[in-house]
C-alpha cells in the first residue's frame, strides 16, 4: 500500500502537499530560502519520503512564498496565517486541498473532523529560517491573548539548514539569486543585480530585522522561564562545511550545529548519492 499521495498544489499558490493515506500523526513543513521555491529547494524529498517505513504517518507540506523581493517580516506574516489555518484545523485544510473530482465524491481520503497533529516539524533553509522564526514569534505573541487557538505551538520542532538568522554576507546572498536558478555567473554580477532588494537589506548582519528577531526571541525565551520551547529554540541546526553566504554563529538557545559536507545551496538537498540531509530529518523526527 502506498504511504503517500503524489504531491499536489496547495490553494493560493502556497506550494505543495504530499498527504499520507493513513491517519496522519505528524506534519513536516518545508520552508525554502532566498530565491528558492517550494519544489525547487526540496526537489528530491518527495521521492525519499514516500513509502519510508518511519514516515508513513507524516503529511509533508512544501511551503512556497515570494523569496526574492518581499521583506522577511511580510513573508513571515503570510506564513503565520498559513500555519494558523493549516494547524488550527488540519482536517478542514486537507479536505479543502484534496481533489475529489476524480474520486466521484466518495473520497476515501477525506479526513474526519477533529484531527490534530501530535508533532509539527518545521524544516527551513537560509532565509526560510528567518521567515519561520518570525512567524512563530508572531504566533507566540497571539497565543498570549487566545491560548486555545494556538495550543499546537507547543508541539512545534524547528530544524534549520544553513539558517540566516544571524544575517548573511549580503553580496554572496545576492549571488544565490542566479545560482538557485542554475546559472552561476552571478558571483560577479549578483551584488549588482539584487543589492536594491529590501530583502537583502533585511538580511544584512545587524540589520533591523535580524536584531528584532534576536531581541524578540530572547524576550520570548525569558518569558518561557528556563524552558526551551521547540518553536523558539531549534532542535536541529545544520551548517554547510563550505558555507559562504550566511553567518555561522550559535543563535540563543538553539542546539549545537552539525556540519555537512556541502555548500549553502546543497546543504538541504538530498540526492541519491548524498542522503545526509534526509538523515537529519529522520533524526529530528525520531527525537520529536
Partner 1 sequence: MTAQDLELNYFHGSRFLSTRAEKGHRLIAQYVAGGNAHKLGRLLRSHFEEEVGPRSAAERYCVDCLLEYYSLLEIGIASGVFPTAVPQEITASAEVLHVPAVRRYYERHYPLLLPRMFRERISGNPLLAPEANSSTRARFISFLNLCSALEDEDTGYFLDFLEDGALDEGNGNWVGMEDLIALLAKPERLAKRLLVSPDKQGYLDASVQGLLRFLQFCIELDELLAGMEDTPALQSAFWHHHGYWFGLFSNAVSSALFNALDAFRSWVPETTNKTDAKRRKKIEDTLRSIATAENQIARLTSGIYRAYLDKKVFGAGDHPSINVGIGSIVQGRVTAVKVFGCFVEYLPGKEGLCHISELADFRVNEVEEVVKLGDLIWVKIIQIEGEKVRLSRKAAMAEQRAELAIEPRAEKPKQAYFGEAT
Q: Residues in the site for partner 1, rule: CB under 8 A?
A: 1-2, 5-9, 16, 21, 37, 39-40, 43-44, 46-48, 50-51, 69, 99-103, 108-109, 177-189, 191-194, 196, 271-273
Burial class, 127, CB count within 10 angstroms (exposed 0-12 / middle 13-18 / buried 19+):
buried
Looking at beta carbons only, is 44 or 253 nearer to partner 1?
Answer: 44
d(CA 241, CA 243): 6
Q: Between residues 172 and 254, which has the closer beta carbon with respect to partner 1?
A: 172
Distance of closest approach, residue 53 Cβ to partner 1, in angstroms: 11
Neighbours of 162 (CB within 10 A): 29
- Closest separation in Å from C-beta 172 to partner 1: 9
CB of 160 to partner 1, least distance (A): 22
CB of 141 to partner 1, least distance (A): 31
Q: How far is the CB of 245 from partner 1 (least distance, A)?
A: 12
What DSSP assignment string belongs to 198-237? HHHHHTBTT-HHHHHHHHHHHHHHHHTTT---TTTS-SEE
User: What is the smallest separation between the CB atom of 89 and partner 1, expressed in angstroms?
Assistant: 22
Closest CB 234 distance from partner 1, rounded Å: 26
Choose among 155, 137, 132, 138: nearest CA to 237.
Answer: 132
CB atoms within 10 A of CB 48: 18
| For partner 1, the closer CB: 43 or 250 | 43
Q: Quick check: helix, strand or coil at residue 234?
A: coil
3-state DSSP assignment of residue 239: strand
Q: Which is nearer to partner 1, 41 or 157 (CB)?
A: 41
Considering the complex, state which of residue 108 and residue 225 has its C-beta at the smaller distance from partner 1.
108
Specify the residue, 3 or 116, whose C-beta has the smaller distance to partner 1: 3
Name the strand (E) or helix (H) holding 141.
helix 127-143
Q: How many CA atoms lie less than 13 Å away from 45 in the CB half-sphere?
A: 31
3-state DSSP assignment of residue 280: helix
Closer CB to partner 1, residue 188 or residue 225?
188
Phi, psi of 30 (to 5 degrees): -95, 135
Q: How far is CA 153 from CA 68, 124, 222, in A?
A: 28, 17, 17
Cell representation of residue 231: 518553536
Amino acid at each position: 500500500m502506498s504511504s503517500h499521495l503524489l504531491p499536489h498544489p496547495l490553494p493560493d499558490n502556497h506550494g505543495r502537499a504530499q498527504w499520507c493515506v493513513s491517519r496522519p500523526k505528524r506534519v513536516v513543513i518545508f520552508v525554502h530560502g532566498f530565491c528558492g521555491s517550494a519544489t525547487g529547494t526540496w526537489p528530491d524529498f518527495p521521492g525519499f519520503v514516500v513509502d519510508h517505513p518511519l514516515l508513513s504517518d507524516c503529511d509533508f507540506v512544501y511551503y512556497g512564498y515570494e523569496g526574492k523581493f518581499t521583506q522577511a517580516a511580510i513573508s513571515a506574516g503570510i506564513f503565520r496565517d498559513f500555519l494558523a489555518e493549516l494547524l488550527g484545523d488540519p482536517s478542514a485544510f486537507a479536505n479543502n486541498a484534496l481533489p475529489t473530482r476524480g474520486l466521484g465524491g466518495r473520497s476515501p481520503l477525506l479526513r474526519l473532523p477533529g484531527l490534530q497533529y501530535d508533532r509539527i516539524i518545521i524544516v527551513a533553509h537560509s532565509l526560510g529560517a528567518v521567515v519561520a522564526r518570525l512567524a512563530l514569534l508572531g504566533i507566540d505573541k497571539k497565543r498570549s491573548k487566545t491560548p486555545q487557538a494556538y495550543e499546537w505551538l507547543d508541539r512545534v520542532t524547528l530544524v534549520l539548514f544553513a539558517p540566516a538568522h544571524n544575517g548573511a554576507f549580503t553580496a554572496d546572498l545576492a549571488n544565490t539569486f542566479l545560482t538557485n536558478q542554475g546559472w552561476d555567473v552571478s558571483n560577479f554580477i549578483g551584488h549588482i543585480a539584487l543589492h536594491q532588494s529590501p530583502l537583502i537589506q533585511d538580511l544584512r548582519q545587524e540589520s533591523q530585522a535580524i536584531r528584532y528577531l534576536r531581541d524578540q526571541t530572547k524576550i520570548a525565551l525569558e518569558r518561557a522561564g528556563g524552558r526551551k520551547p521547540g518553536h523558539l529554540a531549534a532542535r536541529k541546526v545544520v551548517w554547510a562545511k563550505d558555507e559562504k553566504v550566511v553567518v555561522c554563529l550559535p543563535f540563543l538557545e538553539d542546539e549545537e550545529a552539525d556540519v555537512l559536507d556541502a555548500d549553502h545551496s546543497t546543504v538541504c538537498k538530498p540526492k541519491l548519492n548524498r542522503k545526509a540531509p534526509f538523515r537529519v530529518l529522520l533524526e529530528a523526527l525520531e527525537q520529536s
